[in-house]
Amino acid sequence: MNKKFTVNDNNKEEALSGALVFIHESLEAMKHSKKDANYAELMCEEALVNLMNHADFTRRNTFSVNVRRSFGDVVMDFAVPGAEFDFAGDLGSFEGDDDISPEAEASIRSLLLRSFGNRITYRNTRGWNIAKVRAFRSSYSMLWKTLTALILAVISGLLACEFAPESAYMAVNDNFLVLVRDIFMNGLKMCSVPIVFLSLVSCLGDAGGLGGMKSSGSKMLKYSVMIQVIVTVMAFALIWLLGTGTGINVTEDAGVAVQSQGASFSFRAILAGLMPANFVRPFLDGDMIQLLVLAVLMGVAVGMSGVKSAKILFSDLNSIFMKVTEILLHMIPLVVFCSIASLIITTGAETMMTLAGILGALVLGYMLMLAVYGVLVQLIGGLNPVTFFRKCLPVITTAFTTCSGVATLPENLKCAKALGISQKVYSIALPLGVSLIKPAGVFYGAAMVMISANIYGMSLTISKILILGVSVIILSSIIPSIPGGSVIVISALLSQAGLPMGIIGLAISIEAVQDMFNTVATSMGSMTSVLLAAKEQKMIDLDEYNRP
């Protein structure tokens, strides 16, 4: 929806009011919640008033407002004639605002615009001041972008193979597609080690060490670990039975996989290798087991020391690397395009069957996880699993649509109350579960490593599976709460297993789709753990649980 407004010397306020009314009506037509619509209107008003304050209508006497959808997001574009200015800092007052001083108004508007962050962007092009306001961010934005990139990659790859000379499309593949993918992979490798270390240290430090975590829901953690062990075994077994990945050709040197098969393991060597002899060596070598041991020791020490500055330091460093990772993950649609186009060029159209097979195996695993939760509720809790899933339906729908455990937490709390669980249990255990317990992340990590092993023809020994099982359980608890964050854990596990990173291209291609099912399985895993913990402690109202 686009509309132009004509401005003269006498109707500037009227034109502005008309534009704001147009924005209000457009948002109403999109049927967003009143709270969200009010916030969006506030952003638009501040952006538009700021542009009008610096408008120059001597040569052009119109400005335009465009309301549109972009990959599920709602975006407003404003174009007002005028010279370039400091959008977030150089503010003046609009004519007719006499209630407060221009200086006070400028300060207020500056604070408001800065508070909106990157949801408002500004540029000046050929005498037009243009502001873009991202009013609503869709939970499916990354999904649509990824699917669009996937479709374009398939079309481009097939057209290239059909009509372009082989020398031409292979040159594009070697000099652009593979290059972009490799840059992204190197960025993931760079971030994975510090994120794993800093996240775990920060988590343990904030909880006051292991003692703090114990006091915050030890019963819930006990059942969560049990579920994660079951899920880990199920992931390796399911992929082994299905043979997912066998016969897939990923164009990457498999020398790493071949070399790693010759490594021998012994129980004594495993135990001796847990403790690093050098503080820096685990970071340089990417030895995830030693890194995790070091992180636990540091986290417990920071928590027990009570030194606030140390907690703040690790927390701030963790936030910085999270932000770096978030910047990298904005590349996901581009990397999806490059990875899939490269795969189709080098392997053919069977790539789509590859993606469908991997995604199907993962979704089947998530469905089996829900079945396991029901069995545990019946056998250990002695409760009706049908009632459990019926009352948790809001949790399932919210998790599926938002793909965010944090966004689903309010529904988890409401569901726990509806199930009759004592507030003393769920008020501590559920937030702890959102931060630490990610059973679907365990399944996803283990499954992708097993699929990668099948792709490269590597037979994982029992000892290596045990090591990877422990690693995936620990690593899943510190999956970054950002879109595509689980890809970092997968890259760390592949490094630990001595496998190439070729499957990462496939993983990020299905990340947005599988994440919907993944979040459901994770949220319901937390609910199952809390329910069983409450039942063991006899802190559940059975009458409330069975109430329709």
Distance CA 199, CA 295 (A): 9
Whole-angstrom distance, CA of residue 499 vs CA of residue 132: 44
Partnered with residue 65 across adjacent β-strands are 3, 78
How far apart (Å, rounded) are the C-alpha atoms in residues 108 and 102?
10
* Whole-prediction pTM: 0.58
The two beta strands, 120-125 and 73-81, are: unpaired
- The answer to whether residues 279 and 294 touch, using CB atoms and an 8 Å cutoff, is yes
Which stretch of DSSP H or E encloses residue 125? strand 120-125
**pLDDT number for residue 249:** 59
* Coil, helix or strand at residue 547: coil
Neighbouring CB atoms inside 10 A of 305's CB total 13
Helix (H, G, I), strand (E, B) or coil at 205: helix
Torsion, CA 389, CA 433, CA 145, CA 356, rounded to 10: -60
Buried b (16+ CB within 10 A) or exposed e, 8-22: eeeebeebbeebbeb
pLDDT of residue 350: 62
Q: What separation in angstroms does the CA of 19 have from each of 64, 92, 95, 105, 270?
A: 9, 20, 16, 21, 68
Tell me what pLDDT residue 15 has.
87
10-residue stretch averages of pLDDT, the chain, 548 residues long: 82 86 82 71 83 86 86 81 78 46 52 58 88 72 75 88 87 88 77 73 64 56 87 92 74 40 48 77 72 80 80 82 74 81 73 78 94 94 93 85 68 88 76 72 89 84 84 72 64 79 74 80 90 88 87
Q: What's the rounded Cα separation, in Å, for the pair 217 and 220?
A: 5
Amino acid, single-letter form, for residue 64: S
Secondary structure string (H, E, C) spanning 235-277: HHHHHHHHCCCCCCCCCCCCHHHHHHHCCCCCHHHHHHCCCCC
**Domains in the chain and their CATH numbers?**
2-138 (3.30.565.10), 143-243+277-546 (1.10.3860.10)
- CA nearest neighbour of 519 among 377, 361, 412: 412
Q: Which positions ≥6 away from 494 have C-beta within 8 Å?
A: 449, 452, 500, 501, 503, 504
CB atoms within 10 A of CB 27: 22
Give pLDDT, residue 495.
Answer: 78
Measure the CA–CA gap between 17 and 39, rounded to whole angstroms.
Answer: 17
Q: At what angle do helices 350-379 and 141-163 cross, to 10 degrees?
A: 150
Please say whether the beta carbons of 492 and 475 come within 8 A: yes
The tokens describing 280, both together, are 């820096």
Residue 321 CA to residue 306 CA, distance in Å, equals 24
Six-digit token string for 258: 């071949």
pLDDT of residue 166: 86
* 21 vs 44: CA distance, rounded Å: 11
On the CB side of 233, CA atoms within 13 Å amount to 6
CB-count exposure of residue 86 (10 Å: 0-12, 13-18, 19+): exposed
pLDDT for 269: 60
Which residues are within 8 A (CB) of 301 and not within 5 positions of it... i.e. 6 or more apart? 209
**415 touches 395 (CB < 8 A):** yes
Phi-psi region of 80 (alpha: psi -120 to 50; beta: other; left: phi over 0): beta
Could you tell me how far CA 274 lies from the centroid of its own chain? 30
Report CA torsion sign: 253, 257, 262, 268: positive
> Which residues, in sequence order, are CB contacts of 83 under 8 Å at separation 6+?
54, 56, 124, 127, 129
**DSSP per position, 43-110:** HHHHHHHHHHHT--TTT--EEEEEEEEETTEEEEEEEEE-----TTT---PPTT--SS-HHHHHHHHH
